[in-house]
Structure 1
Amino acid sequence: MPWAKFGLCLVLLLFFTPAAQPRLTPPWPQTHVPVFEQPGKVFAGSPEEMIVAAIDAVRQGRMADARATIDALLVKEPNYNLAHLVSADLYAMRAAPLASLGGAAVDAPRDRLDDLKREAQVRLLHHLAPPPAERMLPAQLLVLSPGQEHAVVVDSSAARAYLFKNVDGVPTYVTDYYVTIGKLGTDKTREGDQRTPLGVYFVTSHMTRPQLDKIYGEAASLYGVGAWPLSYPNELDRREGRTGHGIWLHGVPYDTYSRAPQASNGCVALTNEDMTALARQLAPGSTPVVNVTRIEWLDRASWDARRAQALARLEAWRGAWESLDTQRYLSFYGNRFTDQDGQNLAGWQKQKAAVNAGRSWTKITLDKVSIFATSGENATWVATFDQDYRSDALDNRMRKRLYWQEENGAWKIQWEGRARAG
């Protein structure tokens, strides 16, 4: 028995001691290196492309590539919290496998960890399931006026803001960005509810960082590179009694790369790098920002049909008004209609009947038309245009807006008045 034990120990010693292993003739076999120590390939790209590539590499077992990419990303963006989380996981997995992302952060606050997991999830989902290439026309942008060179659609469910360029009236996809929305989601109704409003808005101005510092002091750090206020509450919001103010597009504090998908007080926040890039395409006073729960993507034929439907409805309303056909004209107004002064449908009908009775002719033209749409339970068309009204008794020009909603299977005007922005 002692000789047997000695023999076993000798075999093990010879097998596991490198110096005792026999040398082989060239080419030499590859020396065994743990998977985490192998030279990895860095995926070059934007910070989002790099974090997604690193997470993909972990999922596929390419730990060296994940490590190399994360290290390079943290050199580029040292304040990227999600990248730090993945980095910690990669170190922890040297000792033992982890059940899920963030498994190494056992002492991290649960809400903070959940935020980072959610950020990873929405970024990865966007990478794995982007909008179909054959359907890249948003139903939210039906008609762009010639002066609106770009438009933004915010998809809150995907935590993305999509930028489109106006190419001969067709919204053409340019790029998209990860965004943060309100802590409690969307559908803002009152001041301080920490929700992001849904609807059609316009960029109204630009507040530079020096201006923000002067107004808000240290609190201005929340807005990063600056802020671009939106026209919330819009005319329909006011009619519906929605309150609140200060809904902006803005950056993030300089000590963090990005915030969680739901972390703002109602604004739409982008990384400072992305906000700077997007800001170059924003024209205060005209650029639309349409906030929706989910973008409806259409192919060209479907988008053309939806656009033609909206334009035809608007033209039918204009034609009925111009022809002094009061009954047909008033049929375009919904039961919940109010005008900019709060006048209801009954008062509007009485006023328009009296006005038309005193006219012998009218000429009405609409110019610089835009039509944007929301979806969901209260789907809305927002039509804005320069209106030139001429008659034998009155000449009037104004920038007008109509809010249309479906009622009994037909699109009806629910608000009409002067446009505040856009």
Structure 2
Amino acid sequence: MYTRWFKRLTILVLLLVIAPAARPIFSDSMPTSLLIERKGKAAPGTPEQRILAAIDAIRAGQIADATATVEALLLEQPNYRLAHLLRGDLYAMRAMAIRGIGGGLDNKEVAAQLEDLRQEAFQRNQHRLNPPHVNKLPGNLLVFAPEMKHAILVDTRASRIYIYANDNGTPKYVTDFYATIGKLGFDKYKEGDQRTPLGVYFVTSHLPREQLDKTYGDKADLYGVGAWPLSYPNELDRSQGRTGHGIWLHGVPEATYARAPLASNGCVAMANPEMQKIAEYLQLGKTAVVIAPGVQWLTQDDWAKQRDRAMETVEGWRHAWAERQTSRYLNYYSDQFRSDDGQNLRTWSEQKASVNNSKDWVDIELKDLSIFAAGENGSQLVSSFEQDYRSNNLENRMKKRLYWQRDGQGWRIVWEGASNAG
């Protein structure tokens, strides 16, 4: 009898001491008198909906319901660290009042892990308070190429990844999930800086778990169910001297359901079940992944106007080139322009003026056009297309990309050349 009770006491102590970590949103102090012994009702829903329901129940003093919800969640996701931490807090409340998530665990040795989990809870709750704008459209997704079925939008500040469908050219919300980015945030510049890049990228391939196991051995567990490499560095990144490689969408280790908001080496990581769902929407070589420091939420009318302006800009460039209006054509280029073969604006201008003077006629057709916006407040446009160029002495077809930067006078091209993905 003594041995059995000793084992139970040991398990309880372990739950209080080693349960993992997180933060917001309890009341400043939760009196133990609220802990009425009754059978609670577990909240339904996704793991994220349940973890937030448990936090709400704790705040409301509905401890039995919170306990039932956490226990049901852990039966479904036994490695969900944030849920373990809440369970530890619920046990601690039986002995004392606590302040905030992780208040039942006062241990400096795990302070960093506690803060990670608190930030995860904070980001999930912020998303609930500011859900996707179902009546608005993301200004980051302007034009889908016809064969592009979906696009992925990553909001690095909000730790969120959105999936949008191509609904006859209009982005249609599908779903969204919590996501992890680089340990030191975003705007990657060099190899090893542990930041997630900002820009427009494309899913280039799929590395299933079996392949990762063969390549990385035990380290493959870092990527969970698999990895989907992105086209970082893109053409503009390379022209700006940005370095690094191996930026992927991927899962998380088996030992945890989710990672902290800032925890990867630069990749975008999701819970394994959610990464598997996202994978259903990925077309290798076609799906765009727009990584931005925030989403431009626009009314449908404002989105249509922004899309039309972007298309008119690309069409104006094409028309000026086809009509050999050299001065007007060159006005579309930035002083910081670079071409894929390293030309600056001066040498580019000289070449184009010479070429245009040698032509009797020019016809240019753009097919499979896509336009996406990245950067702060959509300050960068990326247009990709198949270019069919014909003139009296030359015919050429190529996949091409233009990177545009907004300045005080409108959009200017900062990079032009053959595309390497998408």
CA offsets 1:16-60 (integer angstroms, 9 cap, x no match): xxxxxxxxxxxxxxxxx9744211111111111110111111111
- TM-superposed deviation, 1:134: 2.3
Partner of residue 131, structure 2: 130
Q: Could you tell me how far 1:132 is from its partner in structure 2?
A: 3.1
| 2:121 is the alignment partner of 1:120 | yes
**SS state of the match for residue 376, structure 2?**
coil
Deviations 1:39-93 (A, max 9, x none): 1111111111110111111111111110100010011111000000000101111
Query: Is residue 236 of structure 1 aligned with residue 248 of structure 2?
Result: no
- Partner residue of 1:198? 198
**How much does 1:375 deviate?**
3.2
**Is the 8 Å Cα contact of residues 36 and 67 (structure 1) preserved in structure 2?**
no
SS at match of 1:152: strand
Match of 1:180 in 2: 180
1:5 alignment counterpart: none
State how far apart, in whole Å, the 2-side matches of 1:291 and 1:180 are.
12
* CA distance in 2 between partners of 1:411 and 1:36 (Å): 63
The aligned length equals: 389
- Supply the distance in 1 between the matched residues of 2:100 and 2:87 (Cα, whole angstroms): 13
Alignment of 1:17-416 (within 5 A): 35-107=35-107, 109-135=110-136, 137-376=137-376, 379-416=379-416
| Residue type at the aligned position of 2:135 | E
Distance 1:178 1:407 in 2: 33
Query: Partner amino acid for 2:47?
Result: P
Larger Rg: 1
Structure 2 portions without partners, runs of 5+ = 1-32
Q: Which amino acid aligns with 1:410?
A: G
What residue in structure 2 maps to residue 19 of structure 1?
none
SS in 1 for 2:45: coil
Change in CA separation of 1:377 and 1:39 when aligned onto 2, cut-off 3 Å:
closer
AA in 2 matched with 1:247: I
User: Does the 8 A contact of 1:378 with 1:405 survive in 2?
Assistant: no
Distance 1:202 1:372 in 2: 12
Q: Deviations over 1:81-135 (max 9, x none)?
A: 0000000101111222111110011125110000000001111111122133322
| Change in 2 beyond 3 A, CA 1:131/1:378 | closer
Aligned-pair CA distance for 1:377? 7.8
TM-score computed with the length of structure 1 as normaliser: 0.90
Give the letter for the 2:300 counterpart: R
Distance in 2, matches of 1:125 and 1:327, equals: 49
C-alpha separation between the residues in 1 aligned to 2:358 and 2:339? 21
What's the C-alpha RMSD, in Å, of the aligned pairs? 1.2
Q: Secondary structure at the match of 2:163?
A: strand
User: Residues 378 and 240 of structure 1: is their aligned pair in 2 closer, same or farther, counting only changes over 3 Å?
Assistant: farther
Deviations 1:137-190 (A, max 9, x none): 111101011111000100111111000000000010000011100000001000
Amino acid corresponding to residue 183 of structure 1 in structure 2: K
Q: 2:6 aligns to what?
A: none
TM-score (norm. length: structure 2): 0.90
Structure 1: how far apart are the matches of 2:138 and 2:370? 14
